[in-house]
């Protein structure tokens, strides 16, 4: 049985896990929290893929899922080992692709002069969930970057991705026409 076939190893029973280079760290370490949130985000994206979406989004989301796996692998690799040596990691071209998709979708949206509430359609609500999980993941990667070396492209990627998820949420709401808009509640 290969190492990938083994689900239960018992190696984490005492609260530690292995990084890509084989080093052991606490499961509550900043690094594990950061790549764990990337894994959670990837699961949310998988959930979105189960929805009825505008025709071009499922293929783009599958690409993003693979990129999130690359990101998680990069974060699970200590800087001394270097993910670039392993052949994965976030590239500037991936960030640029997110920006292209963001601008293409945003150009189809109705403008809004106020904040948009999460919801409207189920797809939009799930994209808002992905956006907020992306923002939390970004905060955890920032925390990791204050203690250890993190490739700057990781943070740029997450920042663009959260913006893209916001725009795609609006796209799912009839190109923004069916967005739920914030109405301040004054006493």
Q: State the CATH number of the domain containing residue 135.
A: 1.20.1200.10
Q: How many domains does the chain have?
A: 1
Residue 9: inside a domain: no
In b/e form, how buried is each residue of 6-35, taking b as 16+ CB within 10 angstroms? eeeeeeeeeeebebbeeeebeeebbbbbbb
The partner residues of 180 in beta bridges, in order of sequence, read: 117
Contact 170, 108 (CB under 8 A): no
Residue 50: inside a domain: yes
pLDDT digits (tens, 9 = 90+) for 61-107: 999 999 999 999 999 998 755 444 456 789 999 999 999 999 999 99
| Its pTM surpasses 0.75 | yes
pLDDT digits (tens, 9 = 90+) for 152-174: 999 999 999 999 999 999 999 99
| DSSP conformation class of 121 | S
Residue 173: inside a domain: yes
Residue 102: inside a domain: yes
At 125 the three-state DSSP class reads: helix
Residue 187: inside a domain: no
Q: Would you give the end-to-end CA distance of the chain in angstroms?
A: 65
Residue-range definition of the domain harbouring residue 146? 16-81+90-181
Contact 90, 35 (CB under 8 A): no
What is the residue whose two structure tokens read 């896990």? 17
Residue 131: inside a domain: yes
């Amino acid at each position: 049985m290969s190492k990938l076939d083994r689900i239960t190893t018992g190696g984490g029973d005492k609260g530690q896990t292995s990084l890509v280079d084989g080093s052991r760290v606490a499961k509550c370490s900043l690094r594990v929290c950061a790549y764990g949130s990337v894994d959670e985000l990837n699961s949310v994206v998988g959930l979105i893929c189960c929805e009825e979406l505008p025709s071009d989004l499922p293929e783009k989301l599958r690409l993003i899922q693979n990129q999130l796996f690359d990101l998680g692998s990069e974060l699970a690799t200590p800087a001394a080992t270097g993910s670039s040596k392993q052949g994965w990691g976030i590239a500037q071209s991936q960030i640029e692709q997110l920006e292209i998709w963001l601008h293409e979708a945003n150009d189809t949206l109705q403008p809004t002069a106020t904040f948009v509430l999460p919801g409207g359609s189920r797809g939009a609500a799930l994209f808002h969930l992905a956006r907020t999980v992306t923002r939390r993941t970004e905060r955890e990667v920032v925390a990791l970057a204050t203690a250890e070396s993190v490739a700057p492209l990781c943070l740029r990627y997450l920042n663009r991705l959260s913006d893209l998820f916001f725009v795609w949420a609006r796209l799912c709401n009839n190109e923004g026409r069916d967005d739920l808009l914030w109405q301040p509640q004054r006493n």
